[in-house]
């Protein structure tokens, strides 16, 4: 079943990104999109949580899940903001840098120094992103590569992946203290009040979002379903594998992102971006499997 969970996760993640980008391009607020998704999932999860018995959940699980939910809401909001201004076929593969972030954190925090294979994986990720960069005919590759990292969408995507990588650690800690199903339900429910607080800060725009739900409710519902599948299969995989290995396998979704960018948003340079995504995915797998 774990292989099945991983397959669903690989497909559900980029498909949910498609719906996120569609809503963002229709002027929906990123935090409103995330809050609506959590609200839909909470409608299903809250009754189950009450049936299981809230007092039976330990304080350690609550603390880890509050942290994970806060990171998820912030990270996914940044991701939707990035998708609004950037191509899916670019921002999907950028997620491979999450393994580089994990490698750097391991070096700084716990003294796990990168192996030669890990360094090779980093170089592959950099090389893959170098291949993907769009440039003018008379523009030097290096200049285009530097400008790539200065793009607003790419910078937001990097911020989102850092938060997502940190969130994965707290999800794993909560799973070790409870179960993947409890973690999924708490993730769904706790995201609602956190998103509501953020929405109340921007209350004038909240009124404008009602029309968005009325017009595009099917897209919101599809996003809730795919996000739920993505998160559920994520925590079920974390329950069986180490976080690092799980994240490496999930990188295969970046290849799907490139194809979906072409299919739904008519994005260009797909062959080049697909080649870069494959190279970056290989680098991420090397880092996680043999990096330290």
Tens digits of residue pLDDT in 209-235: 777 888 899 999 999 999 999 999 999
Distance CA 214, CA 204 (A): 18
Predicted pLDDT at 6: 87
Residue 243 to residues 145, 166, 236: CA-CA distances in angstroms?
Answer: 30, 11, 11
What tokens appear for 121 in the block? 């994986």
How far apart are the C-alpha atoms of 284 and 268, rounded to whole Å?
Answer: 24
Least confident of 64-68, 105-109, 238-242: 105-109
From 121-135, 172-186, 268-282, the region with the lowest mean pLDDT: 121-135
Total count of residues recorded for the chain? 292
Count of CA atoms in the C-beta half-sphere (13 A) of 154: 16
Closest CA to 184 of 34, 45, 8: 45
pLDDT at 97: 81
The pLDDT of residue 47 is above 60: yes
Residue 3 burial (C-beta neighbours within 10 Å; 0-12, 13-18, 19+): exposed
Of the two residues 283 and 145, the one the predictor is more confident about is: 283
pLDDT bin (cut points 50, 70, 90) of residue 22 is very high
Q: What is the pTM of this model?
A: 0.86
Confidence of residue 169 (pLDDT cuts 50, 70, 90): confident
Q: In the chain, where are the structural domains located?
A: 2-290
Question: Does residue 70 register a pLDDT over 60?
Answer: yes
Report the percentage of the chain scoring pLDDT > 90.
Answer: 34
| Per-residue b or e along 238-250, where b marks 16 or more CB atoms closer than 10 Å to that residue's CB | bbebebbebbbbb
């Amino acid at each position: 079943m774990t292989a099945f969970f991983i397959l669903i996760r690989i497909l559900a993640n980029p498909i949910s990104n498609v719906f996120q980008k569609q809503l963002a391009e229709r002027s929906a607020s990123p935090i409103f999109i995330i809050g609506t998704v959590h609200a839909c999932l909470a409608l299903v999860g809250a009754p189950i949580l009450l049936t299981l018995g809230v007092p039976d959940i330990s304080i350690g699980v609550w603390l880890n899940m509050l942290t994970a939910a806060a990171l998820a809401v912030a990270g996914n909001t940044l991701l939707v903001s990035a998708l609004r201004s950037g191509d899916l076929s670019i921002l999907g593969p950028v997620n491979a840098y999450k393994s580089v972030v994990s490698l750097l954190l391991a070096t700084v925090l716990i003294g796990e120094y990168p192996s030669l294979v890990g360094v090779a994986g980093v170089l592959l990720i950099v090389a893959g992103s170098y291949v993907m960069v769009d440039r003018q005919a008379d523009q030097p590759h290096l200049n285009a590569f530097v400008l790539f990292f200065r793009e607003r969408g790419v910078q937001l995507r990097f911020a989102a992946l850092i938060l997502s990588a940190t969130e994965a650690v707290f999800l794993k800690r909560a799973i070790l203290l409870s179960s993947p199903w409890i973690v999924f339900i708490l993730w769904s429910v706790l995201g609602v009040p956190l998103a509501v607080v953020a929405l109340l800060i921007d209350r004038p725009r909240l009124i404008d979002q009602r029309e968005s739900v009325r017009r595009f409710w099917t897209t919101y519902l599809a996003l809730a379903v795919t996000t739920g599948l993505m998160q559920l299969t994520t925590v079920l995989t974390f329950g069986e594998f180490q976080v690092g290995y799980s994240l490496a396998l999930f990188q295969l979704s970046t290849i799907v992102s490139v194809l979906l960018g072409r299919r739904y948003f008519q994005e260009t340079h797909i062959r080049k971006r697909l080649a870069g995504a494959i190279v970056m995915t290989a680098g991420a797998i090397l880092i996680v499997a043999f990096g330290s």
